[in-house]
Amino acid sequence: MPENDSVMRAMTDDGAFRIVAARTTDTTQGVIAAQKLSGAIAHDMADLVTSAVLYRETMAPTLRVQCIVRFDEEAGQLIADSHPDGWTRGLLQQGSGSAPPNIRRTRATLEMMRTLPNSDLHRGVVEVPESGNLSEAFMRYMQLSEQIISMISLGSVAEGENPTAGGFVVQLLPEATEAEAAMATMTKRLEDFVEIRERLQQSDGSPSQLIEQIFEGMPFTWLDSNDIRFGCQCSELRVMTTLSLLDRSEIQELVDEGEPLSIGCDYCGTSYAIEIAQLQGLLSAS
Ligand SMILES: [Zn+2]
């Protein structure tokens, strides 16, 4: 049976490690198609989308997160959103240059944001290393901003006949006894999992296979599994809410122009046609 995109969690029975692993192949293909990306930027978008899914499942499974790669020199940014319902989306905001930014040539930061239960935002920023490696940037963020020791690997093949995307986060848990020895064992084992693209292609991205391979020989318990998919929560209602924030004079101008408004969602490409009568409704409501 072909795999569907999902994210799974498991924990070693000695309480030392937790793992979160995701398959994001179809989700990232949806994002890449909606954003019309190709080449290196498609690959980076795939890794960022996987980061957003893993970050949410690791830190705040029931709350939404956003991850942003912000390029220096006004070269634009990549954004990925992950929602507790499983829908995930991405956006390339092109900078002043005509070519898409390249994370291996242009310096960039990785910003991770998650909503807290009281609706405040937790936000942290790290430099992306010069290699442009997002797995390393994500690990650096987890250590510096969340104080959690994690080993992270992201892998994606964005184009071609056998696209794949996914990754994992292995965390050392605070309850771990003999933490140093456990870390040494896991670090050695994960040397084979730094580069996971081929592994993902061979297993159709299966997160359960990835977890079984990483925890091989260690008793562990499956914790949870959730579906992941490409999707956007835009709606006509949201478009109208945004329009209602405009000044009355601006809305009046749109009414006077006498043409229905066509507003497209930058994330998913859905187009919303707003009739003059709806704009007039905003004027009478305010
Ligand atoms: Zn949308």
Distance, CA 10 to ligand 1 centroid (Å)? Answer: 32
Q: Are 7 and 226 in contact (CB under 8 A)?
A: yes
**pLDDT per position as a tens digit, 266-276:** 999 999 999 99
The percentage of residues in the chain with a pLDDT greater than 70, rounded to a whole number, is 99
- Give pLDDT, residue 28: 98
- Give pLDDT, residue 284: 85
Distance, CA 190 to ligand 1 centroid (Å)? Answer: 38
Give ranges for CATH 3.55.30.10 in the chain: 6-230
**pLDDT per position as a tens digit, 84-122:** 999 999 999 998 877 888 898 889 999 999 988 888 999
Give ranges for CATH 3.90.1280.10 in the chain: 236-285
Residues 6+ apart with CB under 8 A from 150: 58, 139, 142, 143, 169, 170, 171, 172
Distance, CA 35 to ligand 1 centroid (Å)? Answer: 11
Distance, CA 270 to ligand 1 centroid (Å)? Answer: 6
Q: How far apart are CA 18 and CA 10, in angstroms?
A: 6
**pLDDT per position as a tens digit, 149-181:** 999 999 999 998 899 999 999 999 988 888 889
Does domain 6-230 fall into CATH 3.80.10.10?
no
Distance, CA 164 to ligand 1 centroid (Å)? Answer: 23
Distance, CA 268 to ligand 1 centroid (Å)? Answer: 4
Distance, CA 210 to ligand 1 centroid (Å)? Answer: 32
- Give pLDDT, residue 121: 92
Residues 6+ apart with CB under 8 A from 206: 3, 23
Residue with structure tokens 């995307």? 165
- Give pLDDT, residue 286: 56
CATH T-level fold of 236-285:
CBS domain Like (3.90.1280)
